[in-house]
């Protein structure tokens, strides 16, 4: 009982299983084992010679170079010491081993098996260290305790995000003769055409004046408690600065 194989098989045991005629599911790809690919006498003899070169399992193939070999390296390993193995003239002008028919399919199948067996045992990509989230700089008092923004209760966040309904106001160019939207649009269109005639700075000032958008100091009335002269003219005339 002590010599029984552990199930499920470990990676070391699977890597040392025969790969040529085995029907063990992890060493099959799409329901096919190596024997279904090696179906012609020439490729069968070539694979038998590879087995004679002690290439019986995935571990034997990967141990030759300390890693999984390339296709050309695999062909050399399988053809080593095989007199009938074909050779050809390589691109560098030297003689080298020629691939046997279907040898590429054998290599692709064994490569797929190798990655399939090792995939469950590979560690995932390293997770970079994540710096702890910094505390938010905005604090508020919650039941007398200073609390950062991310710990605020829901009621405070809802109150902060509340938008009051828009207050209806009259258009700044509304008059007794311009009360409808169509009339206002026509008037503004004519005003914009007229403001193109003077220099750009003058035209911009007139347009802002008509829209009541000039940055005059009379808008700073709320600052009079701290600065009584906040609404006065900037140029020292001691008058309230208005659009007029």
The secondary element (H helix, E strand) that includes residue 76 is helix 71-79
Instruction: Give the DSSP per-residue string, 63-111.
Output: HTTTS---HHHHHHHHHTT-TTS-EEE-TTSSEEEPPPTTHHHHHHHHH
What mean pLDDT do residues 86-108 have?
A: 72
In sequence order, the β-bridge partners of residue 240 are: 232
pLDDT at 83: 66
pLDDT at 125: 59
Radius of gyration of the chain (CA): 43
Is the pLDDT reported for residue 209 higher than 80? Answer: yes
Q: For the ranges 31-35, 112-116, 158-162, 193-197, which has the lowest average pLDDT?
A: 31-35
Instruction: Give the pLDDT band of residue 1 (cuts 50, 70, 90).
Output: very low
- Residue 215, token pair as written in the block: 């940055």
Is the pLDDT reported for residue 109 higher than 80? Answer: yes
State the average pLDDT for the chain.
79
- CA-closest candidate to residue 178, choices 169, 190, 166, 186: 186
- Residue 240, token pair as written in the block: 């309230």
More confident site: 231 or 94:
231
What mean pLDDT do residues 210-232 have?
A: 82
Domain boundaries, the chain: 11-119, 181-240
What are the tens digits of pLDDT across the range 128-171?
A: 666 666 666 778 888 888 888 888 899 988 888 888 888 888 88
- Measured in degrees and rounded to the nearest 5, phi and psi for residue 18 equal -60, 140
**Rounded Cα gap, residues 14 and 31, in angstroms:** 17
**Rounded Cα gap, residues 176 and 10, in angstroms:** 92
What are the tens digits of pLDDT across the range 14-29?
A: 788 788 777 777 777 7
Is 144:88 a contact under the CB 8 Å cutoff?
no
Residue 186's contacts (CB-CB under 8 Å, 6 or more residues apart) are none
Length of the chain: 244
- Residue 238, token pair as written in the block: 């001691």
- Residue 197, token pair as written in the block: 């005639």
Is 99:50 a contact under the CB 8 Å cutoff?
no
pTM of the complete model: 0.44
């Amino acid at each position: 009982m002590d010599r029984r194989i552990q199930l499920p098989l470990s990676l070391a045991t699977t890597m040392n299983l025969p790969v040529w005629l085995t029907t063990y599911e992890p060493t099959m790809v799409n329901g096919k084992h190596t024997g279904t690919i090696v179906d012609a006498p020439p490729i069968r003899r070539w694979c038998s010679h590879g087995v004679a070169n002690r290439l019986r399992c995935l571990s034997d193939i990967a141990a030759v170079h300390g890693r999984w070999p390339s296709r050309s390296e695999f062909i050399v390993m399988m053809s080593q010491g095989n007199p009938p193995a074909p050779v050809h003239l390589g691109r560098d002008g030297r003689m080298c081993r020629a691939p046997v028919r279907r040898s590429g399919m054998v290599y692709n199948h064994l490569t797929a098996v190798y990655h399939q067996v090792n995939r469950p045992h590979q560690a995932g990509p390293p997770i970079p260290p994540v710096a702890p989230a910094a505390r938010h700089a905005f604090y508020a008092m919650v039941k007398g305790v200073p609390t950062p923004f991310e710990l605020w209760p829901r009621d405070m966040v809802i109150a902060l995000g509340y938008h009051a309904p828009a207050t209806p106001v009259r258009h700044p160019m509304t008059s007794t003769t311009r009360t409808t939207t169509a009339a206002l649009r026509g008037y503004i269109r004519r005003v914009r055409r007229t403001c193109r005639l003077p220099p750009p700075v003058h035209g911009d000032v007139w347009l802002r004046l008509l829209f009541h958008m000039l940055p005059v100091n009379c808008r700073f009335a709320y600052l009079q408690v701290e600065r009584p002269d906040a609404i006065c003219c900037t140029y020292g005339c001691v008058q309230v600065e208005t659009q007029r």
